[in-house]
Structure formats: structure tokens, C-alpha cells
Amino acid sequence: MQILFIHQNFPGQFGRLASHLADDPNNTVVTLGERKEGKRFPHAKVHDYWYPKPKGGGPQTHGYIRGLEADTRRGQSVYRAMRTLKGKGYSPDVVYGHPGWGDTLFVKDVFPDAKLICFWEFFYSNEGSDRNFDPEFPSTEDGMLRTRMLNSTQLLAFESSDWGITPTMWQKSQFPSFMQETMSQVFDGIDTDIVRPNPDAVVQISDGPKLARDDEVLTYIARNLEPYRGFHTFMRSLPSILERRPNCQVLIVGEDGVSYGKRLPEGETYKQMYQDEVGFESDRIHFLGRLSYSNYLSVLQVSSVHLYLTYPFVLSWSCVEAMGVGCAVIGSATPPVQELLIDDENGLLVEDMLDPQGVADKVVETLERRNDLDEIRQAARQAIVENYDFKTVCLPQQIELIRRLTG
């Protein structure tokens, strides 16, 4: 079978699936993404191709549709790359693509007979999700109108898709009902043979302590340190936590950019903003930046309590992996966290993720009984093994979907 994966930042959500399919000698796996110098997918049997980074939307374009223009340009770049592949005799049976940036817009114009499976990540809405969730960052009237237009690319991409997948049932529920009819809830999958507890794990802080499983460690992880993942609440909670837990070390993993939400003026970061606001310094707070995957897992493996806060938005891999490692996870009582974390069963929930004192109280209470949380830790890992493991759960779901679509 011929399978083509398209993602502007490949591998994105498709890495494990592409690798597994490429292991089968009966398959030919081709990937297509935006060119990044020196980037190669680490699998000898995967044929990776790249398209040049397209221009964005023009400054004269109406602000509401500037993103749509940029997505159209990207779709055009992907179209040209696919035409080149077709000219070499390549014709995929199945195409997996992330439509969010326009990559899948013109797939059927080059490969009309291929089955197109789109990865539907998030459908934007002014009610019931991330918009207007946080009163500290209210949406303006202009923002409300812009939000409605954010789904334009996905709605155009839907017309030519054959089926779709989305990671959680809550994310699926955000899409219009007519899209849900051709959409399956399939999580990307966690390799629980790697993402597992390790009682011997250690984390050596540069110019700081070496931390192990017996130490008292609070962990917080996000791709970027920003309010969408509760960073502002977390920072405001730290003075109370550290005053009441004098032996607690805090490990913070994440970069200083913005993945979601409001961007700050050039040169400013949310990290610095909330450090300045809190005005609290401690040699027990360690900002680790971006880590290698193995070092990131070690941070989770030495964690006494892991804090995961998020607006009602896309679920982070870090939350699922923290549970897979067997962390005692305190999660915000927001969807889709509540879809996999059950309070006092396989984790703990904090009712109001925007209340720093409430978050601090929950963390302190959990740290106080951290040696009595073995059942919760075990249940957290078991929930991931049974429902989110790549090899035994998510991969069979993907294979069955391909078989059903291709006959």
C-alpha cells in the first residue's frame, strides 16, 4: 500500500504511525512537510519530501482572512510538491493530512482516487471552549468575529476529505454535527514501554541539586509558558507553595514563546511578566527550557506531584504521558482533562484553575500525602495503558480505519 503523510511540521501527530507502516515491506510511506534545514525523519524506510516555506498573508488583506490567504499559499506549495511526486509515478492509496494550515486543500486535485484522512485538531468557537474562558484575557468584538473566520480552512478541507480522526471525544464534540458524522475519536498513541515509571531516574540541575524519586518535586510542563496552559496561575501559586513546603523543588519545562492566545510585544515573555509580577525568587525554582525526550521523561519520573492546567482546549501529550509514567497528576477541572482524569481515582482535579490560592492549597495538600498516592499513581498508568497505548489500542484503530476505507 502507498501511504502519504502531509504535515507542515512533520511528523507532528503522525510519527509513530508512519514508522509502523513503513516497517511493513508491503507499504511505501512518503512524507511531505515544510522544508527545515537538516531535518530528516529518523526512519530509513520513510521517504521524506519537503516543500518551500510559503509566504504568509499580505499586509493589505483583511485581518479576518489573512490566515486563510496564508493557508491557501501553503496549500498551493503542497499542490506543487504533490504534482512533482505524481510526475515520478507516485500515486498514494491513502493520504493522512493535518488540514489546519491548508496542507490538504488541494490533495484531491492531484490524487483524486486516494482516500484522504484528515486530523481534526480543534474547531474554534466563541462559546464553550477557550474563548472568553479567562476574564483576564477577554475577547473583543473584533476577536469574536475573527474567531468565526478561523475555521474557514477546515471547512474548505472537509469538503474533499473521506474521513477524519480527532484525539478526544471533547475535541470531536466541538465540531459541527455534519463533520462529526465522518470523524472517529482516535488518540495519537503513547509508547507505554518507554513512558513508564523508573524508580532509578535522576535529574541533575545545572549548578543545582541532583533530584531523585525520594525528593519532594513539583513539576510543570508546557510547550510554551503561557496562560492557555495556566502558567499565570501556576506562577502566582508558587510563593504560597514554597513557603508551606520548605523542601519542595520546582521543575518547569517549556520555552518562552507563545503557541496559543495573545502574543506580547517584541522582546517580552509571559515568563518574565509573571516573574516580575510575583516578585518572588527562590533557588528551588528551576526553569529547564526545552529538553530532550529522555530528559523530559526523567523529569516526570522523579515528580512527586505534576500540575497540568489548561483552558478548555487541545489536550497536551504531556498530561497523558505524565499519567503513563505514573505521576500523581493534579489537573484542571476542564475538558478534555476530565475525559481521562477521574478525581481521587487516577488523579486529582482542581476546581478553578484560575484561582492561585486554590491551586496552591491543592498542591500542598497533595504533597503532604505524596507517600500515600500509590493507588492513584497505578490507576493513572493503567488508564493510559488500557486506553491510549499506541501498539495495543491506537494503532489497531488506525489500521482498522485504513482497511475500512480502502476495502
Q: Write the CB contacts of 291 (distance below 8 Å, at least 6 apart in sequence).
A: 253, 299
pLDDT at 38 (0 to 100):
73
Residue 321 near residue 195 (C-beta atoms within 8 A): yes
Beta strands in 213-335 (DSSP E): 217-224, 249-255, 285-289, 305-308, 329-332
Q: Do 215 and 341 have their domain in common?
A: yes
- Give domain status of residue 358, yes or no: yes
Q: Do 212 and 316 have their domain in common?
A: yes
Q: Do 213 and 183 have their domain in common?
A: no
Q: Residue-wise pLDDT tens for the chain (407 aa)?
A: 999 999 999 999 999 999 999 999 999 999 999 998 777 888 999 999 999 999 999 999 999 999 999 999 999 999 999 999 999 999 999 999 999 999 999 999 999 999 999 999 999 999 999 999 999 999 899 999 999 999 999 999 999 999 999 999 999 999 999 999 999 999 999 999 999 999 999 999 998 999 999 999 999 999 999 999 999 999 999 999 999 999 999 999 999 999 998 889 999 999 999 999 999 889 999 999 999 999 999 999 999 999 999 999 999 999 999 999 999 999 999 999 999 999 999 999 999 999 999 999 999 999 999 999 999 999 999 999 999 999 999 999 999 999 999 98
- Give domain status of residue 79, yes or no: yes
- Give domain status of residue 197, yes or no: no
C-alpha cell read off for 283? 533557588
Number of domains in the chain: 2
Q: Do 101 and 129 have their domain in common?
A: yes
- Give domain status of residue 196, yes or no: no
- Give domain status of residue 195, yes or no: no
The rounded radius of gyration (Å) of the Cα atoms in the chain is 22
Q: How many CB atoms lie within 10 A of CB 292?
A: 8
C-alpha cell read off for 306? 505534576
Q: Do 163 and 209 have their domain in common?
A: no
- Structural domain boundaries, residue 256: 202-387
Q: Is the dihedral of CA 130, 131, 137, 142 positive or negative?
A: positive
Q: Do 240 and 158 have their domain in common?
A: no
pLDDT at 280 (0 to 100):
85
- The SS3 call for residue 4 is strand
pLDDT at 281 (0 to 100):
86
Q: Do 271 and 123 have their domain in common?
A: no
Q: Do 116 and 12 have their domain in common?
A: yes
- Give domain status of residue 109, yes or no: yes
Residue 334, classified by CB atoms within 10 Å of its CB into exposed (0-12), middle (13-18) or buried (19+), is buried
Q: Do 234 and 121 have their domain in common?
A: no
Give the CATH number for residue 23.
Answer: 3.40.50.2000
Q: Do 169 and 62 have their domain in common?
A: yes
pLDDT at 228 (0 to 100):
97
Q: Do 118 and 158 have their domain in common?
A: yes
Q: Nearest Cα to 229, choosing from 127, 133, 168, 308?
A: 308
pLDDT at 36 (0 to 100):
83
Distance CA(200)–CA(227), nearest Å, equals 33
Q: Do 166 and 132 have their domain in common?
A: yes
- Give domain status of residue 130, yes or no: yes
Count of H-run helices and E-run strands, the chain: 15, 15
